Each structure stands twice: as C-alpha cells, then as structure tokens.
Chains A and B, each alone.
Chain A
Amino acid sequence: MSAIDVRGLTKSFGRKRVVDNVSLRVEPGEIVGFLGPNGSGKTTTIRIICGLLTPDAGEGTVLGFDVRRQSRRIKREVGYMTQRFSFYEDLTIAENLAFVARLYGLRPVENAVRRTLADLGLTSRRDQLAGTLSGGWKQRLALAACIMHAPRLLLLDEPTAGVDPKARREFWEEIHRLSAGGLTVLVSTHYMDEAERCHRIAYISYGTMLATGTVAEVIRDSGLHTFLVDSDNPVELADFVATLPGVEQVAPFGRTLHVVGRDRAALAASLAPVAARPGIAVRPGETSLEDVFIQFMARTGARPE
C-alpha cells in the first residue's frame, strides 16, 4: 500500500484554480521532493493531503485512510511541519513540547518532553521562549515537535527556507536517518541540491504536475540536450546564441553557458560556427535538473499571481 496515493486533486480559491488535477504517489519509506516555483500550489497540495483543506475534486488515500472522509485519522498519524513557524512563540521550548505531547496523549508527558529535548540538544535551553530562537533552531524544534508522536508520514513544507547551509545539511541528515527508520517523507523545497537528496521528485507548476520520477528520469524524460560553451565574454555571447535555431534556453554559469534544446542535431549545427571563433570552446554536457526546471518555467511562463 502506498503511503500517499491521491488522484485528480483540484482546488480553487475563488475563481483561481490553484491545484489542477494533481496526482501523486509516495511509497512507504521514500523521500519525495516536491518542487515548483512560488505560488504553484505546493502548500495547498500538502494541506489537502493532511486534511487541512477539502479538495473540490479528486480522491485517494493517505496511509490507507480516505483523504476526503478520514482526515481525523490521517492527522493522528501524520507529522506536518508548516511553512511558517507555527508553534507558540510565547511559550518556552519545553511548554511547546509538553503541549504537543499532551494533545497526542503521550505518557508520561515529562518523559516525552525530556527525551525530545535531549535528542534536540536543547535540554539546557528548555525554559527559553520559542520566539527567541534563531531560524535554524526554530526549524529543528518544529521538526522535533512534529515527530514526537511517531507519525508514519512526514509532510515538510519548505523546511529549510531561510536556514543557513550548515543547518540545512544537518537537517537533511536527520531526514535521511528518519527515512532509514521507515518514515515516509514528502518535502517541498525550491533548492536544487535538496531535490538531488530525494529518492524521487515531483515538479508542480501553477497547479499542474509537470513531472515525477527520480532525478535521472526527470532529466531523461525532459528530452533536453545540453552543450557547454566556455568563453571570456559569456553575457554578450549568450544574447547571440539565444537567437540560433534549435536553442531553447541559454543560462550563464560563471564563464560557462548552458545551451539547451530538444533537437540535438540542430543545436550541434548551430554551435559549430561559434566553436570556430577564437577563445571559445564548445563541448557536450550533462543536462542538469536546474536546466530542466528553467525549461519548465519558460514553457509555462511566469504567470502573474
């Protein structure tokens, strides 16, 4: 049985369709990355999955429970870490944890709190108000509070936004530890490197699911080919290269241009004369996930909010 198996989810706010016919499957123990530009419906989809929003259409199961009718059961076994810190800033760390422990009926409460504090390494700061914690610590506190009741599925909504790189790395190590222990994780992000840390990814753009699969599958399915062009003046060259036949997208990475298109032969033909110029080298390259995502965004267009 899949941990998440939802089909055709649709949700509108007013006349705006925010989630449009989205289907998603997540197997037990998987870490699935949920990607997409801001405002494409990631948070909305996650809220539907954990029963905080009712979909206008669509059906499916989460942990075997009906996503429309059994949201209370789903909530009991899901850990949901919201995009915005949503524990009580005017309560201490220990009081927040005790609140969660009591709500989930963990007993004895004090033991559950003490254990979580120890795991977090926050025992010495147990009486500090949660509002005074730094972004990284808030995020760790939120994660710890979300897994206190030993959920079977973890939904993380942009957990690492605004967190420094070291804290981000530690966070992902923790996610992998939890996953190794059998926990299923769906995590939304828009960091490319985080996508690469997931077993599979799902890419949503303005309500529509554009791609799902492993990173390699998503790159392969995109049908994109990439050439790397090294030059001393990449910015000027980029404008010119973009006009050539077969070139769909040009992105500078330092002194290197990523030139991307679906038609490999046309690309090669267009770039041959460029390669002949002095000081410029053209070589075939690997299409990166980022290239694919830029292509997705270019294709759907940046729609106004």
Chain B
Amino acid sequence: MPAMVLLSPNRLLAILAKEFVQMRRDRLTFAMMLVVPIIQLLLFGFAINNDPRGLPAALLATGNDRYARAVVTAMEATNYFRFIARPESAAAAESLIASGRVSFVVTIPADFGRRVERGDAPVLLVEADATDPAASSGAIAALQTVANRALLREQGREALAADQQRAALSVIIHRRYNPEAISQYNIVPGLLGVILQMTMVMMTAMALTREIERGTMENLLAMPATPAEIMLGKVLPYLVVGGVQVTVVLIAARGLFGIPFIGSLGFLILSVLIFVAALVLLGYTFSTLARTQMQAMQLTFFFFLPSLLLSGFMFPFSGMPVWAQWLGEIFPLTHFLRVVRAVMLKGAGITDLGSEFAILCLFIPLYALLALSRFRQTLD
C-alpha cells in the first residue's frame, strides 16, 4: 500500500464536490450569502449617503452688528444650521454641545464688526461635535464659502471679482471629540471588508460543527480524508462565494454611490482574495474550536464586534489609544481596510502598501496552521 499523501487531489475533489452540492441545496444559506451583502450595502450606504440638514446649533454672539447678523442669516439659509439657542456665556454653550443638544457652537467675537470695518479679516469660531463626523462634514464644508460670500455682499463688494478669491474672514473650525473626519467615501470601501468578514467567518465557522451535529463527522473521520483535505475542501467553496460578494459590492459601490475608483483593479482583487482566504480560514479555525453550532456563532460574534470597533471601520484608527491600536493590528480587517481604502481612493499600489499587504498575507498560514493543529482527528 502506498504511503498516505497529505493532500490528494482526488480526495480534495471529493470533498469539494460534496460541499458545492450541499451549498446549492441549502437554499436559505445560499440566498443569505447573496442577499445579505446587498441589504447591508443599501442600509449602510444610504444611511451615510444622507447629507443631514437642519443640524441644531447654538449662537454665542458677543458682538451683534449687521455683519454678524448677515453671516448668521447666510448660515441659516444653507439649511445646514438651525440656531436653536443663544447662550449667554461660553460655559453655557459648552454644556449645550457636551450634552448633545446642539451639534455646533458658532462664536462671533465682540470685535467682529469693528474688524470688518477696519479691513482686518474677522474670525468666526465654529465648534463642531464630530463624534458623528459624517453628520457635520457637509455643514462644515459649506461654511467657509457661505460666510465669506455673505460678508462681501454685506460690504457691497459683491461685484468685485478679485475679492471673491480673497478671504474676507477666517473660519476656525474645531472638530471636537474626534479629530479625524471620516468621509463617506471612506466608509463604502470599508463596508466591503465588513460584509465579507461577517458572511465568510460565520459560514465557515459552521463547517465542522454542522458535521458534528448531524453525526456525519464520525463517518468522515473514519474515511481516509486528511485534515488538510477537509480544511481545503471546506473553505475553498467559500472563496468562490466571497468572489461573488466582492463583485456585487464593488458594482454597487460604483453604481449606487459613485465611489471613485482610482487604483489598480488587479491589485484590489488580489488583496480581496487574500483577505477572503484569511477570513475563511479564521472561520474554519473557529469551527475546530467549537463543539456546537451555537458555540461557533458565539465565537464569531465575540470576534466580530471588537474587529469592527478597533479596525478603523467605525472609529478612526489614529484616534484610539495606543493599546487599542495594538489590539487593532491583530485583525485582518484592519490591514484590509488600509489596503482597500488606499487602493480605491488614493490609487496606491503594491509599492506603497507592501508591508500592509504582507501582513494580510501572513494571516493565511497563521490561521491555516492554527486550524490544522486544532483539528481533532479522533472523537476524543
């Protein structure tokens, strides 16, 4: 009898064929794998595509001259700002924004009008609650132009084209609580990673526990399939599913949200493939650790939440304390987000992203070895 090879193409084929048939027969799961990404994309995509107007604002105006009034009127006219309070002091204003009752505090200093008349650029201070930066970014973006134009108009110099370019006032924006503003474009590529992670890890985490619960594991182990064959046979079909999901999300990102697409498509697809491979192996590792499907689910969620919070998807990575950043580095999602954002939005390539890409690749052997070492060839 020939020595047992660790990876026989025929045996791998046997498991692959079986898995594909089972996947096809499991209508509900199959539908979920295709529908979930679309629903999530629509849900998150439109939620963040929404450019909110009528944000509550507080006006702290120590000066109350006609220039100040003009600027305030112009700001209200944008519909971004809705002034709901006129606090008497800076402390009162502070408590309004801290409690979340207003999203902005606009401070017009006492010498605003005097400086305009003297020809100095006056200062407008806007404090924005950036805990939800997506919410305030539109308003902030509009501010400078609007205020500038209002001031020039009030000075009756609207007709002077040259002045249009000159800053008639300087707007100082303090983004509070969250120094780094995430743009909408930042989120949709991130969604790609999150959607992939959600479905890929969860599906493969069931791979072995399903066999155990259905009682088929005993038979599978009694037959001559090796751990490596079982692992590959179980995860490769999901690589294909991941490919389909990526296509769906990318087409939707472009079509629905007009996400710019600057970098190399080939490099993006390669990165996605490596990310998906890492994810399915991670899910498979979970399934070697869990005894029941319930445990597999719990492991998945236990992993899912911190990776969502610490990867830089929800909160900017650089805003986190150092220990959290270190923790964040252990998630494939963290590295994938850096790669995918840089590729899609900045057009970065392998030369710029070499180390991130390498780390992403490292997860594959890491998880594979972990899974193989945890795989129980007996029922002990």
Interface residues of A (CB under 8 A from B): 47, 50-54, 71-73, 75-76, 78, 80, 82, 84-91, 95, 98-100, 102-105
Contact = CB atoms under 8 A, between A and B. Distances in A.
Given A102-B11, A103-B11, A88 B216 contact: yes
B21 A91 contact: yes
B215 A95 contact: no
A54 B380 contact: yes
A91 B222 contact: no
B224 A76 contact: yes
Nearest to B225: A103
Nearest to A44: B379
B215 A105 contact: no
A82 B220 CA distance: 11
A102 B224 CA distance: 10
A57 to B, nearest CB: 14
Given A73-B1, A88-B22, A53 B222 contact: no
Given A52-B221, A75-B222, A103-B11, A87 B216 contact: yes
B218 A86 contact: yes
Given A75-B223, A87-B216, A53 B18 contact: no
Contact of B4 (A72, A84, A90, A98): A72
B201 to A, nearest CB: 23
Contact of A105 (B8, B219, B380): B8
A88 B26 CA distance: 13
Q: Which 5 A-B pairs have the closest CB atoms?
A: A102-B14, A86-B219, A80-B222, A84-B215, A103-B14
Interface in B1-40: 1, 4, 8, 10-11, 13-15, 17-18, 21-22, 25-26
B223 A95 contact: no
A255 B225 CA distance: 56
A146 to B, nearest CB: 9
Most chain-A Cβ atoms within 10 A of its Cβ — which of B22, B219, B378, B380?
B219
Contact of B219 (A76, A87, A90, A98): A87
Interface string B205-218: 00000000011111
B18 A88 contact: yes
B22 A53 contact: no
A76 B216 contact: no
Nearest to A73: B1
A104 B224 contact: yes
A54 B378 contact: yes
Contacts of A91: 18, 21-22, 25
A84 B18 CA distance: 20
A53 B221 CA distance: 11
B17 A98 contact: yes
Interface string B257-296: 0000000000000000000000000000000000000000
Given A91-B21, A103-B11, A105-B11, A53 B215 contact: no
24 contacts: A47-B379, A53-B378, A53-B380, A54-B378, A71-B378, A72-B4, A73-B4, A75-B223, A80-B219, A82-B219, A84-B215, A86-B217, A87-B216, A90-B25, A91-B21, A91-B22, A91-B25, A99-B14, A99-B17, A100-B223, A102-B14, A103-B14, A104-B224, A105-B11
A102 B13 contact: yes
B215 A102 contact: no
B215 A85 contact: yes
Given A52-B379, A78-B222, 11 more contacts: A51-B378, A52-B218, A53-B380, A71-B378, A82-B219, A85-B215, A86-B215, A86-B219, A89-B214, A95-B21, A100-B223
A98 to B, nearest CB: 7
Interface in B317-346: none
